[in-house]
């Protein structure tokens, strides 16, 4: 028959449905049953959507307490779609013809005349265009095409530009935070100012500058928090081995940046007994009793320290901005 592929020369094994008509009818009923079950599951889906309350909780062994509607919707819809596919596959496997056929393929290699002709075209083209002969044309053309991407690179490099009123480069923005001398330290999330006596030895406070709320509100973003977040820890003054500046602590209270110097994850995992600060992202560990030195992990630089003191009302304040940019390295950074 035209269009029919020739049979393969292999031993054909008959299926049970091919020989036994009762088996064939059984297979037909099974496949129809799968489609019918899919229909029932769709009805079940609608019933579950309409009938089960969203907040119903049901206990299923092994699963625990789960949402009843979610489970019902998942099982009905998933089952319905699976059974349509499964029914179609069973139909093909059990009842549709499964004769082995041969499909001819041409050889991959081109015939010799075609190869020779193609080679001839190429050679003639090379000869007639004079590509090999005109050295000056060839070299200047290659030069022009090679230098062509340079404007694109220059334009990409220049893509960043801040608002017209702001003259800072990205490096300058990354190098400063909103911490200033006299800026009060407040707790993160609750914005309460901190007194030295509030913090016991072994205590930890996540803190931000007092002006952060307003800065964020005006800027409409959290970029300032991303650089200014700090942690305050307290240890006995004699436990402090070294600091990044003379007298940058206040009676054993130290302020360090919260931003990891590796890739910039905020770190608040502080072990009070060992004074180690552990970053959860790549496990860089900083020893806050020893100038925030890296004792483990991929960070290359110490955690920057913020010098602190108290103001006239007895609240903790910053004495200056950080002495180095916080967070991960960037191209223009001096270290």
Partner 1 sequence: MKFLAARRRNPLVAIGLLLFALIAVGGGYAAIANVQPAQAAVDSQSKIEEGNRLYLANCSSCHGMDAQGTANGPTLIGVGAAAVNFQVSTGRMPLAAPGAQATAKESPYTDEQVAAMAAYVASLAPGPAIPTAEDLDFSNADVAQGGVLFRTNCAQCHQAAGQGGALTQGKFAPNLMAATPQEIWEAMATGPQSMPIFSTATVPVKDKQAIIAYINSLQNAYSPGGLDLGRIGPVTEGLFLWTAVFAALIGAAVWIGIKAR
Q: For binding to partner 1 (CB under 8 A), which residues are involved?
A: 13, 15-17, 57, 62-67, 70-71, 74, 89, 93-94, 98, 187-190, 192, 194-195, 197-206, 233, 267-274, 276, 278, 280, 283, 285, 296
Least distance from C-beta 272 to partner 1, angstroms? 5
71/173 with CB nearer partner 1: 71
Least distance from C-beta 40 to partner 1, angstroms? 22
Least distance from C-beta 285 to partner 1, angstroms? 6
56/110 with CB nearer partner 1: 56
The 3-state secondary structure of 277-331 reads EECCCCCCEEECCECCEEEECCCCCCCCEECEEECCCCCEEECCCCCCCCCCCCC
Pair of tokens at residue 283: 């496990």
173/293 with CB nearer partner 1: 293
Distances (CA, A) of 305 to 182, 218, 268: 16, 27, 15
For the beta carbon of residue 131, count every other beta carbon within 10 angstroms: 13
13/132 with CB nearer partner 1: 13
Compute the distance between CA of residue 94 and CA of residue 89 in angstroms, rounded to an integer.
Answer: 8
Please enumerate in sequence order all residues whose Cβ is within 8 A of that of 189, keeping only pairs 6 or more positions apart, or say none. Answer: 206
**Gyration radius of the chain's alpha carbons:** 37
Least distance from C-beta 9 to partner 1, angstroms? 18
Closest CA to 230 of 260, 273, 197, 196: 260
94/227 with CB nearer partner 1: 94
Least distance from C-beta 283 to partner 1, angstroms? 8
173/265 with CB nearer partner 1: 265
Least distance from C-beta 240 to partner 1, angstroms? 16
């Amino acid at each position: 028959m035209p269009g029919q592929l020739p049979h393969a020369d292999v031993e054909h094994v008959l299926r049970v449905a091919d020989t036994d008509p009762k088996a064939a009818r059984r297979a037909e009923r099974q496949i129809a049953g799968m489609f019918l079950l899919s229909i029932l599951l769709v009805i079940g889906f609608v019933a579950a959507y309409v009938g089960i309350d969203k907040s119903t909780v049901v206990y299923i062994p092994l699963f625990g307490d789960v949402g009843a509607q979610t489970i019902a919707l998942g099982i009905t819809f998933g089952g319905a779609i699976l059974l349509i596919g499964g029914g179609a596959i069973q139909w093909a496997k059990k009842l549709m013809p499964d004769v082995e056929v041969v499909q001819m393929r041409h050889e991959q290699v081109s015939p010799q005349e075609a190869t020779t002709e193609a080679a001839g075209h190429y050679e003639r083209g090379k000869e007639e265009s004079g590509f090999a002969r005109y050295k000056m044309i060839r070299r200047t053309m290659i030069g022009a095409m090679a230098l062509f991407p340079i404007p694109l690179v220059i334009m990409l490099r220049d893509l960043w530009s801040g608002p017209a009123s702001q003259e800072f480069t990205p490096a300058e923005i990354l190098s400063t935070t909103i911490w200033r001398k006299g800026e009060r330290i407040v707790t993160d999330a609750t914005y309460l100012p901190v007194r030295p006596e509030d913090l016991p030895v072994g205590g930890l406070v996540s803190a931000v500058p007092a002006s952060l709320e307003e800065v964020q509100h005006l800027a409409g973003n959290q970029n300032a928090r991303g650089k200014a977040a700090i942690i305050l820890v307290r240890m006995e003054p004699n436990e402090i081995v070294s600091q990044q500046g003379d007298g940058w602590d206040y009676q054993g209270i130290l302020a360090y940046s919260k931003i990891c110097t590796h890739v910039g994850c905020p770190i608040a995992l502080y072990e009070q007994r060992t004074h180690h600060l552990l970053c959860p992202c790549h496990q860089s560990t900083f020893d806050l009793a020893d100038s925030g030195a890296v004792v483990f992990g991929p960070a290359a630089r110490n955690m920057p320290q913020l010098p602190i003191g108290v103001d006239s009302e007895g609240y903790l304040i910053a004495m200056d901005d950080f002495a180095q940019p916080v967070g991960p390295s960037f191209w223009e950074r001096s270290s």
